[in-house]
Amino acid sequence: MKLTGFSLQGLCMRLCVLWLLGLAGAAQAAAATPVPKVQVPGKTSKPAKAVPPPKPVLAPPAGNLVIIGGGLRTENAEVWQRIVQLAGGKGARIGVFGSASINPESAAQATVNRLNQYGAQAFAIPLGVTWPNSDYRKAAEDPETVAMIHSATGIYFTGGDQARITKALVRPDGSHSAALDAVWDVYRDGGVVAGSSAGAAIMSTTMFYDAKSTLDMLKQGVNEGHEIASGLGFIGEDVFVDQHLLVRGRFARMIPVMLKKGYQIGLGIDENTAMVVNAKRDVEIIGYSGALLLDLSAAITDRGIKGFNISNATISYLDRGDKFNLVTREFTPSPDKADNKLDPNQPDAREPVYTNDILGNNAVLDLMVNLIDNAQQDAIGIAFGNPRDFNPELGFEFRFSKTINSVGYSSTEVEAYSVLKLRMDIRPIQLQQPLYRYR
């Protein structure tokens, strides 16, 4: 049967389409109609928690760090001039915090005078827990203080007690004061942040606070709020910093802190010497001496050994003029060493290398240099204390070994070396008591 202009089959198809469209419209209407909530006896309904907005992503700092190991001499032009240069050159405005000092006003003014000798227009920032006739909490939030900091292209923290710096700049709840935020603004905008001794200790997220001797820390460990506390973290969360390193034999005290806090990389800078860290995280050594680089990324500890121990740590010495990138882990020797890589097949010495005071003044550096250009494959250093010290029978053996990755460079101009990637193992030893007898 046919209808005019239509077939029965076509009519059926049109009716099916209309039916399906009707079902879809009913579903949309049902979705738009609010469903009444069913109250469960004894319970009240709670609104869903709002999703917090994402935190703003801050760009990496565009500035530079100059981390000085303490004892910076007035005549060390290389370091002073670099600070001024990185702050913009002659006439650079550099704000000086004397906060670490017991006499912050005097300490700040002394550094201001030195910076000005090298062409800066430095000024003291009147903020410190012992600053005369001042409430440091109010000063850290004072708009005038903040404006003073913002006017600078460089910031300098003097030496003293690093806990005074953090107390002056960090609120009791752990948040940044307005003054500390301003310092970070200077750094993020391309300014330089420099610090010596205590001013270097604050550069990492963890700093030494009320530290025991190095040997006692190996014997007794480190504790939050006692030996260590939070620093200001300018160098980032992945690098631990220490200072006065070679002169005071402090390299070993870095290791228990790095293990406790999870740092793989540690940098320890010597006195009258500085590490310059740029926005690309290149580290350049300038000044009088050098820095030790500790890498614990492949290190292990043996829980079966009673007492502090570590195996397969890597230790390197970066001399003045050397560079190291914290991201790529690439090393670049100073120009006077670039073409003078030591040949392990032609060592300069063959005698055993040993010291009975590895924590002494420059002892670790002397041992590393004597080993890298030696036919011997390892060297031993011992650390022990006074017979009247705590647990006098406990000492430690430090074993340094060459591996296939160990490399040495020698300067063609002066007697200076760079030593890369020696293996270091530390384990406790039992000392005989008394250690000696009269003959």
pLDDT in tens, 361-415: 999 999 999 999 999 999 999 999 888 887 889 999 999 999 999 999 999 999 9
**Residue 191 neighbours by CB distance under 10 Å:** 27
Query: Token pair of 314, please?
Result: 């890597």
Strand partners, 371: none
First to last CA, the chain: 134
Do residues 187 and 224 make contact, with C-beta atoms less than 8 angstroms apart? no
- Under a CB-based contact definition with an 8 Å cutoff, are residues 265 and 326 in contact? yes
Q: With a cut of 90, say whether residue 2 has pLDDT above it.
A: no
| CA atoms of 43 and 424, how far apart (whole Å) | 63
CA distances from 294 to 68, 170, 234, 240, 361 (A): 18, 29, 19, 9, 18
Q: Is the pLDDT of residue 186 over 50?
A: yes
**Which structural domains are found in the chain, ordered by start?**
64-290 (3.40.50.880)
What pLDDT was estimated at residue 102? 95
Q: Which of 24-28, 52-56, 414-418 has the lowest mean pLDDT?
A: 24-28
Q: Which residue matches tokens 């700092």?
A: 61
pLDDT of residue 7: 45
Q: Tell me the β-bridge partners of 290.
A: 319
Residues 352, 382: Cα–Cα separation, whole Å: 14
Query: In this structure, what token pair is assigned to residue 412?
Result: 């063609």
Percentage of residues in the chain having pLDDT higher than 70? 87
Q: What is the pLDDT of residues 19-31, one digit of tens each?
A: 444 444 444 444 4
Strand 239-242 relative to strand 228-230, pairing:
unpaired
Contact predicate 115/153, CB 8 Å: no
Segment 335-363 shows an average pLDDT of 96
Per-residue confidence band for 54, with pLDDT thresholds at 50, 70 and 90: low
Q: With a cut of 60, say whether residue 36 has pLDDT above it.
A: no
d(CA 231, CA 209) in angstroms, rounded, equals 9
Residue 98: pLDDT over 90:
yes
Residue 11 has pLDDT above 50, yes or no: no
pLDDT, residue 18, reads 43
pLDDT over 50 at 326, yes or no: yes
For residue 388, the model assigns a pLDDT of: 82
Of 5-19, 187-201, 419-433, which range is least confident? 5-19
Torsion of CA 161, 106, 116, 150, to 10 degrees: 70
Q: Please calculate the CA angle 287-293-213 and round it to the nearest 5 degrees.
A: 90
Q: What is the predicted pLDDT for the residue at 37?
A: 43
For the chain, the three-class secondary structure string (H helix, E strand, C coil) is CCECCECHHHHHHHHHHHHHHHHHHHHHHHHHCCCCCCCCCCCCCCCCCCCCCCCCCCCCCCCEEEEECCCCCCCCHHHHHHHHHHCCCCCCCEEEECCCCCCHHHHHHHHHHHHHHCCCCCEECCCCCCCCCCCHHHHHHCHHHHHHHHCCCEEEECCCCHHHHHHHHECCCCCECHHHHHHHHHHHCCCEEEEECHHHHCCCCEEECCCCCHHHHHHHCCCECCCEEECCCCCCCCEEEECCCCCCCCHHHHHHHHHHHCCCEEEEECCCEEEEECCCCEEEEEECCEEEEEECCCCECCCCCCCCCEEEEEEEEEECCCEEECCCCCEECCCCCCCCECCCCCCCECCCEEECCCCCCCHHHHHHHHHHCECCCEEEEEECCCCCCCCCCEEEEEEEECCCCCEEEECCCCCCEEEEEEEEEEEEEECCCCCCCCC
pLDDT at 38 over 80: no
**Cα(292)–Cα(114) distance, integer angstroms:** 28
State mean pLDDT over 194-209.
97
Query: Global pTM?
Result: 0.86
Rounded to the nearest integer, the mean pLDDT of the chain is: 89
Query: Measured between alpha carbons, how far is residue 289 from residues 280, 348, 424 in Å?
Result: 23, 23, 22
Residue 390: predicted pLDDT: 79
Determine the length of the chain: 439
pLDDT band at 34 (very low <50, low <70, confident <90, very high): very low
Task: Report the C-alpha gap between 206 and 204 in whole angstroms.
Answer: 5
Give pLDDT, residue 64: 98
Distance of CA 85 to the CA centre of its chain: 23
Label residue 128 by pLDDT band (50, 70, 90).
very high
Q: For 243-277, how does the pLDDT look when each residue is reduced to its tens digit (9 = 90+)?
A: 999 999 899 999 999 999 999 999 999 999 999 99
pLDDT for residue 40: 39
- Bond from prior residue into 434 cis (ω within 30 degrees of 0): yes
Rounded to whole angstroms, what are the CA distances from 69 to 7, 103, 236, 241, 400?
Answer: 97, 20, 18, 10, 24
